[in-house]
């Protein structure tokens, strides 16, 4: 009868249950003492009524139970079943443009810039269940690693497999941005976003970064730019030894912050500087908060009233008490 989702519509009536033990004390300890006693020489004539006489207090117990049932019924107990349905009303298409040049192997982030980025980017994708995401990688040239898709497993697997050396080295920021814009130009989403990450200066490519910025602006694409690298110097790969192992040396960290700020400002985005692992993670968390997909949640309530059985029980107990009082116990002294 009572489920785990039980609630009371008028719980204030439950305070009346305090009266029940008070009435019980009054009847069994006060009223009975005020009753008249009859002393007789022998009770032999009443032996056949002893059992019923002992059960007479049950009449008042029936009344107390009836009162309790009516009080609980007044509180309107009911089971509530809640079903939920969500509706995404505003989708966001996101392209992550990731620099995969040799400098991304620098060790100012742990274990290196590229691996640190991959870990953070994977978490970011997991936090965007309602959006479509694509991946563009660039160095001396650029290409689409994964088109815009809602399949987060594919996107995360793509990020995990990104590595240095797949394309010609260099830092073609304009080409990376241009490829990302190209992925979004036919998007029907109400909001289109590019997250452009680089750790260097535009030094190659046939697409001017400012031209790509103007194109993004015309298509209402917002660009968040991230400059990745510590302040000062860092261990950069400079060559390979005879066994093909990379040789690292300290070198100054150079990031074209002026260009990245320009791209972000012109497109309505923001520029961030990630100087360490924690800072990089906090930047992606901030972007995640800035770009929210609007999700509407609808709740449907199904109420199952439970007061009716209590009213029926109370009526039955009152009728039983009256029946016994005016039949079996009518002639009792």
Res 293: pLDDT: 65
3-state class (DSSP) for residue 20: helix
Which tens digit of pLDDT belongs to each residue from 38-90? 555 555 555 555 555 566 677 778 888 888 888 888 888 888 887 766 655 55
The average pLDDT across 105-120 equals 95
Mean pLDDT of the chain: 86
CA-CA distance, 102 to 97, in Å (whole number)?
16
Show the beta-strand stretches assigned E in the chain: 6-8, 77-88, 92-99, 132-138, 142-149, 191-198, 221-228, 233-240, 246-252, 271-274, 295-305
Which residue segments constitute the domains of the chain, with CATH numbers given? 6-33+48-82+301-325 (no CATH), 90-293 (3.40.50.410)
The average pLDDT across 120-133 equals 93
CA proximity to 202, closest of 216, 215, 212, 192: 212
Pairing verdict, β 233-240 and 246-252 = antiparallel
Which tens digit of pLDDT belongs to each residue from 287-322? 999 887 665 666 777 878 888 888 888 888 888 888
CA-CA distance, 292 to 320, in Å (whole number)?
64
Which tens digit of pLDDT belongs to each residue from 158-207? 999 999 988 899 999 999 999 999 999 999 888 999 999 999 999 999 99
> What interhelical angle do 152-161 and 113-126 show, nearest 10?
180
Res 295: pLDDT: 55
CB 97 within 8 A of CB 263: no
pTM of the model: 0.65
Res 2: pLDDT: 61
Which tens digit of pLDDT belongs to each residue from 199-254? 999 999 999 999 999 999 999 999 999 999 998 999 999 888 888 888 999 999 99
3-state class (DSSP) for residue 245: coil
């Amino acid at each position: 009868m009572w489920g785990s989702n039980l609630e009371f519509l008028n719980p204030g009536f439950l305070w009346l249950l305090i009266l029940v033990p008070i009435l019980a004390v009054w009847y069994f300890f006060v009223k009975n003492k005020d009753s008249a006693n009859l002393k007789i020489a022998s009770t032999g004539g009443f032996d056949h009524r002893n059992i019923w006489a002992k059960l007479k207090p049950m009449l008042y117990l029936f009344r107390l139970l009836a009162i309790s049932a009516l009080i609980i019924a007044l509180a309107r107990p009911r089971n509530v079943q809640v079903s939920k349905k969500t509706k995404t009303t505003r989708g966001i298409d996101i392209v992550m443009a990731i620099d995969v040049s040799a400098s991304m192997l620098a060790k100012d982030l742990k274990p290196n810039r590229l691996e640190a980025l991959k870990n953070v980017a994977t978490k970011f994708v997991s936090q965007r269940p309602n959006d479509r995401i694509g991946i563009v990688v660039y160095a001396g040239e650029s290409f689409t690693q994964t088109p815009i898709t809602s399949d987060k497993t594919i996107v995360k697997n793509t990020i995990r497999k990104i590595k240095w050396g797949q394309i010609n080295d260099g830092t073609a920021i304009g080409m990376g941005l241009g490829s990302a814009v190209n992925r979004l130009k036919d998007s029907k989403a109400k909001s289109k976003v590019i997250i452009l990450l680089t750790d260097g200066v535009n030094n190659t490519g046939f697409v001017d970064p400012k031209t790509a910025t103007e194109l993004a602006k015309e298509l209402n694409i917002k660009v968040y730019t991230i400059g990745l690298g510590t302040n000062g110097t860092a261990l950069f790969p400079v060559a390979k030894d005879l066994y093909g192992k990379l040789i690292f040396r300290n070198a100054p960290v150079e990031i074209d912050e002026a260009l990245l700020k320009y791209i972000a400002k012109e497109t309505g985005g923001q520029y961030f500087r990630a100087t360490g692992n924690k800072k990089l993670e906090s930047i992606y968390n901030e972007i995640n908060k800035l770009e929210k997909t609007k999700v509407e949640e609808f709740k449907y309530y199904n109420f199952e009233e439970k007061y009716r059985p209590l009213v029926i029980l109370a009526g039955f107990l009152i009728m039983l008490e009256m029946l016994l009082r005016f039949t079996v116990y009518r002639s009792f002294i």
